[in-house]
Amino acid sequence: MGNNSWIMILLSIIFIAVFVACDQDQNSDDSNQIESLLTPDKVEAYKVSDPTPNDTDDPAVWINKTDPSKSILIGTDKDTEGGLYAFDLSGSLLPDLPFIPLNRPNNVDVEYGFKFDNEFIDIAVVTERNTDKIRVVSLPDFKLIDNGGISVFEDDSLRSPMGVGLYKDSEGAIYAFVSRKDGPAEGYIYQYLLTTRNDKVTGTLVRKFGHFSGSKEIESIAIDDKNGLVYYSDEGIGIRKYSADANSTSQDGVLFGQGDFKEDNEGISIYDKEGEGYVIVSDQQRGTFNFYERTTNVTDIPKYIGRVYVDAVESDGSETISIPLGSEYPEGLFVAMSDDKTFRLYRLEELLAAIDTVR
């Protein structure tokens, strides 16, 4: 075969490769355009918080029962020089409450009626990843009350706490459920009973449970207090649900949401409306939140209801408050972290009205 023939064959191969690549790019562009055309309008935040210096990660809300309009948004800033910030419901930093410096905080949750120093107070608990601890903050004065923190996962080399959810049982005992950056296939979640000793909060390990697929990580945890259920995101495959009962010996849970997410399923919150409501989960890369049926039994598999498109970007964490918080949030509040270092505050009724049932 002559040199000219070899050159012609080589040019043909190059042409085919370029044509296929261009065709694939065109198909990808067409697919993105079709998805864009089918995407409903995004729900715009009613308020956007002041930005934090580093990287917002997870919100919680302390409800002021005397004047709900003066409730406090609590948010983590995820960095080695990050910490915990307090905002009003307009998203403005509260100048009268201190910034609490922490070494790479991740998630935060709030619970009410914790017995401390012979009185009942409200608390927030936040994970501090680089110290392998959870930290306890009194509310609404925003002060650490844990004598340097509560060490977690002490019996394992895989520590680095990330997610936290608080649960108050029917007897009034308060527990912290903690997840981590990595862990075993079984016993990934540790449950700690929070008590007071020498005027400081301590934690006692009472239970290890929870399956992990091995895909990505487990961060977000949400507790349905009324139904005694704990939910967490097994980020690569779906959401898992277990009993929150500290005396439960069962290692059985249910998995749901497989195939419902573009990539990572992340932040979880519970919408509670007179015993009914939704489990709301971030579809992080799609820019939506998926809504699932709120169930009462641990064995029930929550049904997919629909999704809502929001203007929060790459959202890790969320919080849902289903009671009126003054005239600006007459039906409640939904808060989502956004990757522009802010938290976005939505009127809950606007979010619920935008649920799109098309998959």
Which pLDDT value is given to residue 228? 96
Cβ–Cβ < 8 Å for 76, 108 = yes
Residue 73 has pLDDT above 60, yes or no: yes
How much is the average pLDDT of 59-74? 98
Q: Percent of the chain scored above 90 by pLDDT? A: 83
How much is the average pLDDT of 297-314? 96
Does domain 43-353 fall into CATH 3.90.190.20? no
Half-sphere exposure (Cβ direction) of 62: Cα atoms closer than 13 Å: 26
Closest residue by Cα to residue 63 from 54, 79, 74:
74
Residue 148 has pLDDT above 50, yes or no: yes
Give me the chain's average pLDDT, please: 91
Residue 4 has pLDDT above 70, yes or no: no
Look at phi and psi of residue 316 and say left if phi exceeds 0, alpha if psi is from -120 to 50, else beta: alpha
Residue 285 has pLDDT above 70, yes or no: yes
How much is the average pLDDT of 232-260? 94
**Among 2-16, 203-217, 280-294, the least confident range:** 2-16
Which pLDDT value is given to residue 35? 52
Q: Percent of the chain scored above 70 by pLDDT? A: 89
The whole-angstrom separation of Cα 213 and Cα 284 is 19
The whole-angstrom separation of Cα 136 and Cα 160 is 17
* Residue 51, C-beta contacts closer than 8 angstroms, at least 6 positions apart: 340, 341, 342
Residue 190 has pLDDT above 70, yes or no: yes
Closest residue by Cα to residue 198 from 148, 150, 146:
146
How much is the average pLDDT of 128-151? 97
Which pLDDT value is given to residue 275? 79
Cβ–Cβ < 8 Å for 311, 44 = yes
Residue 34's φ and ψ, nearest 5 degrees, are: -65, -45
Which pLDDT value is given to residue 10? 47
How much is the average pLDDT of 303-317? 95
Instruction: Extract the runs of DSSP E, i.e. beta strands, from 225-326.
Output: 229-234, 238-243, 254-256, 265-273, 276-283, 288-293, 304-309, 318-321
Q: Which residue type sits at 88?
A: D
How much is the average pLDDT of 245-256? 91
Cβ–Cβ < 8 Å for 332, 321 = yes
How much is the average pLDDT of 138-151? 97
Cα four-point dihedral sign 215, 218, 222, 227: positive
Domain assignments of the chain as residue spans, ordered by start: 43-353
Q: Which residue type sits at 229?
A: L
* Predicted confidence (pLDDT) per residue in 22-41, tens digit: 454 455 454 445 455 566 78
Which pLDDT value is given to residue 358? 81
CA-atom Rg of the chain in angstroms: 23
What DSSP state is assigned to residue 43?
B
Half-sphere exposure (Cβ direction) of 82: Cα atoms closer than 13 Å: 25
Strand partners, 356: 307
